[in-house]
């Protein structure tokens, strides 16, 4: 059963210019995304920097207001909720931010940071609040005596554990992990990933895991969605994406990932040109200017996400929606 459904979600950021701030265009950060997240699964979202991954993640929690579209969580349309109702819903929906150095208030002690949500929602106070925060610290691998310390006294990995504890404090069901390990070194990444998986099993959590690191996404995800210039171009189980990807962009991404085997020579697919501007994206398929298989129709008509079972591909040349053949 789908815990979260996204229906044709759009987020455009207006561009203003001149003395009077007249609107001159839009940055099309998220452009018509539709997908679902099943209860208890980890859905990984990958793509190049600037393709709209973090914007999509924040729109799901309405930290950024969508321009249009629908977000349905537990059969409730959260895009129509007023401020007070949305505040209640955020008890079930939390986020772990990318930067463990910038996401914690340097003026607050760790106990205050983790317990702030409990106070805001009137769940606990006094000794009960302290006991719950202590239990959370222990759950994420920190010591109880660190309760009264400030963020600058912790390493990057420890700060991210504090961020995880903060997300768990309100017994959330759905957590957006926005590049949650990208700022950490490899050994600490492994610790945080293992912690997230252990917590998922213990508390039956659902993750929306955003990353540009394909190997990490392969390790933690049940399904993977690939994003390019604000659109989902392919979505399937992790096994299918990594062994039977269809979209040319997905194949190029996978070929760029390092292979930890010096005897294996993987074919590298080098894309031509740069990622187009989201201010003025190409007509038709947004990937066609860089695609070696592009046909005339690719520049004229936008491909829709077509499914073969659970495998969705938005391509005129490959997949179930293909209407022309590659060379």
Tens of pLDDT along 223-238?
Answer: 999 999 999 999 999 9
Query: Rounded to 5 degrees, what are φ and ψ at 69?
Result: 100, 180
- Residue 118 domain-assigned? no
Q: How far, in Å, CA of 137 to CA of 21, rounded?
A: 47
Mean pLDDT of the residues in the chain: 90
DSSP H helices, 110-233, are 110-120, 126-139, 156-168, 186-203, 214-220
Nearest to 37 by CA among 91, 12, 1: 1
Count of beta carbons in the 10 Å neighbourhood of residue 5: 15
DSSP three-state, residue 133? helix
- Residue 11 domain-assigned? yes
Q: What percent of the chain has pLDDT over 90?
A: 67
Name the helix (H) or strand (E) containing 36.
strand 22-38
- Residue 165 domain-assigned? no
Is the separation of the CB atoms in 94 and 172 below 8 Å? yes
Tens of pLDDT along 154-165?
Answer: 998 899 999 999
DSSP three-state, residue 68? strand
The stretch 81-86 carries a mean pLDDT of 92
Q: How far, in Å, CA of 57 to CA of 71, rounded?
A: 12
Q: How far, in Å, CA of 131 to CA of 40, rounded?
A: 28
pLDDT for res 272: 80
- pLDDT exceeds cutoff 90 at 185: no
Tens of pLDDT along 47-83?
Answer: 988 899 999 999 999 999 999 999 999 999 999 999 9
pLDDT higher for 166 or 327? 166
pLDDT for res 226: 96
- Residue 24 domain-assigned? yes
Range of the domain at 237: 2-92+170-313
Residue 94 β-bridge partners: 175
Instruction: Label residue 104 by pLDDT band (50, 70, 90).
Output: very high
Tens of pLDDT along 186-233?
Answer: 888 888 899 999 999 999 999 999 998 888 898 899 999 999 999 999
Q: How many domains, in total, are found in the chain?
A: 1
- What is the separation of C-alpha 300 from the centre of its chain, rounded to a whole number of angstroms? 30
Instruction: Label residue 313 by pLDDT band (50, 70, 90).
Output: very high
Q: What percent of the chain has pLDDT over 70?
A: 96
pLDDT for res 322: 77
Strands 68-73, 76-77: parallel, antiparallel or unpaired by DSSP? Answer: antiparallel
- Residue 161 domain-assigned? no
Tens of pLDDT along 239-279?
Answer: 999 999 999 999 998 887 776 666 666 677 778 878 889 99
- Residue 44 domain-assigned? yes
Query: Rounded to 5 degrees, what are φ and ψ at 205?
Result: -80, 155
Lowest mean pLDDT among 30-34, 173-177, 193-197: 193-197
DSSP three-state, residue 309? coil
- Residue 59 domain-assigned? yes
Q: How far, in Å, CA of 52 to CA of 56, rounded?
A: 6
List the CATH number of the domain containing 293. Answer: 3.40.50.300
Q: How far, in Å, CA of 241 to CA of 253, rounded?
A: 11
Residues 6+ apart with CB under 8 A from 170: 90, 91, 92, 94, 117, 118, 121, 123
pLDDT higher for 44 or 272? 44
- Residue 75 domain-assigned? yes
């Amino acid at each position: 059963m789908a815990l979260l459904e996204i229906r044709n979600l759009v987020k455009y950021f207006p561009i203003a210019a001149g003395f009077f701030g007249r609107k001159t265009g839009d940055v099309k950060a998220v452009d018509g995304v539709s997908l679902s997240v099943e209860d208890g699964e980890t859905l990984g979202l990958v793509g190049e920097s600037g393709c709209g991954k973090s914007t999509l993640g924040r729109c799901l929690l309405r930290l950024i207001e969508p321009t249009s579209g629908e977000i349905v969580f537990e059969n409730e349309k959260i895009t129509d909720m007023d401020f007070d109702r949305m505040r209640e819903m955020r008890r079930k929906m939390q986020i772990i931010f990318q930067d463990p150095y910038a996401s914690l208030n340097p003026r607050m002690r760790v106990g205050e940071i983790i317990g702030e949500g409990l106070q805001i929602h009137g769940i606990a106070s006094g000794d009960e609040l302290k006991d719950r925060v202590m239990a959370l610290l222990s759950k994420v691998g920190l010591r109880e005596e660190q309760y009264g310390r400030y963020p600058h006294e912790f390493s990057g990995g420890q700060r991210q554990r504090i961020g995880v504890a903060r997300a768990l404090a309100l017994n959330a069901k759905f957590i957006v992990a926005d590049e949650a390990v990208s700022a950490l070194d490899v050994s600490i990444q492994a610790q945080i990933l293992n912690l997230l998986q252990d917590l998922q099993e213990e508390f039956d959590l659902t993750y929306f895991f955003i990353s540009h690191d394909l190997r990490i996404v392969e390790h933690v995800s049940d399904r993977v969605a690939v994003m390019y210039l604000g659109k989902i171009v392919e979505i399937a189980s992790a096994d299918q994406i990594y062994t039977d990807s269809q979209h040319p962009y997905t194949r190029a991404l996978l070929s760029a990932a390092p292979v930890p085997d010096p005897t294996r020579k993987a074919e590298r697919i080098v894309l031509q040109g740069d990622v187009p501007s989201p201010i003025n994206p190409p007509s038709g398929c947004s990937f066609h200017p860089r695609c070696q298989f592009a046909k005339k129709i690719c520049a004229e008509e936008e491909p829709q996400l077509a499914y073969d079972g659970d495998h969705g591909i938005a391509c005129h040349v490959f997949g179930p929606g293909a209407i022309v053949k590659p060379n």
